[in-house]
Amino acid sequence: MKIGILQCDATNENFRDEHGDYPEMFISLFQSIDPELQFAVFDVRLEQYPQTSQECGAYLITGSRFSVYDDEAWIRKLEKFVVEMHSEKHPLLGICFGHQMIARALGGKTEKATQGWGVGVQSYRKTKTKSWLKPDLENFSLCASHQDQVTQLPLGAELIAESEFCPNAAFRIDDHILTFQAHPEFEKAYSKVLMVLREQILGPEIFAAGVKSLDQSIQPQVITNWMINFLRKGEPT
C-alpha cells in the first residue's frame, strides 16, 4: 500500500535534525508496524497534490499550526480535496488539523475550544468495538497539542473515541475516513519541545501540567495498527 502524506506544516528548523519533519515522523511510525508500506509526500501549503487520487491507495492529512478556518488559499483548496476524496470514497486519514479539516469540509464544525489548550499526554476512551480496532484497548493515551476542537461531527460520522476534555477525539465515516485529534506520530520528547516553545502562550499552569503528564505512557503503535487495519478494510496486521 502507498500512503500519500498531505503535509500541512513543518517542524521548527531548530529541532528538525533531532526530531525530523512531520512526514518523517509518520513514515517512521507506520513502517515500524509494516516496513513494506510506501509513501509519497505532497506539501499542500505549496499546492502540491497527486495528479489523480489513484496515485496513492490512501491519503493522510497532517497536523498544522494553522486553524482550518483561517483565510488561507491553500486551506480552502485542501478542503475541496477532502470533499473530492469523500465523494470518491477514497481512503483518508486525518490527524489533529487533518481531523478538524475533514470534519469542517464535510459539514461538521471546528472552532477554538472553550477548554483551552490540550498539550502533553492526553487520555481517551474508545466508544465502539470494531474488527479493525485491534489490538483491543479500551483506554489509550497519546501526545496532543491543540486549542481547536471538532465541536460538531459531520453527517454520517461515527464517534470512535472521546474524553472529557475532547468529546470528539476520533471518528470514522463508513470504511474510508478515519481521524484522530491527538498525535500518534509525536514522541514525548518532541511534545516537550513544543511545550517549551509555546510556554508563554500556554501559561504556567497548562505548561506545568503538560510537562508532568509526560510521565504517563502512550500507545502510538496501537493506534497506528488501528489505522492500518482500517485502511485494509478490517484485516488486522
pLDDT per residue as tens digits for the range 29-71? 999 999 999 999 999 999 999 999 999 999 999 999 999 999 9
CA–CA dist 170, 155 (Å, integer): 14
Report d(CA 188, CA 132) in Å as an integer: 26
Active site residue 56: no
How far apart are the C-alpha atoms of 222 and 47, rounded to whole Å? 32
Domain parsing of the chain, residue ranges: 2-231
Residue 235 has pLDDT above 50, yes or no: no
Q: What is the CATH number of domain 2-231?
A: 3.40.50.880
Provide the 3-class DSSP secondary structure of residue 7: strand
Q: Which of 56, 96, 143, 166 is catalytic?
A: 96
Return mean pLDDT, the chain.
96
d(CA 92, CA 182): 16
User: Count of H helices and E strands in the chain?
Assistant: 8, 11
pLDDT band at residue 234, thresholds of 50, 70 and 90?
low
Which residues, 6 or more positions from 45, have their beta carbon under 8 angstroms from its beta carbon? 7, 8, 9, 74
- pTM reported for the whole predicted model: 0.95
Cα separation, 149 vs 221, in Å, equals 24
Residue 8 known to be catalytic:
no
Distance separating alpha carbons of residues 42 and 61, to the nearest angstrom: 10
pLDDT digits (tens, 9 = 90+) for 137-165: 999 999 999 999 999 999 999 999 999 99
Active site residue 138: no
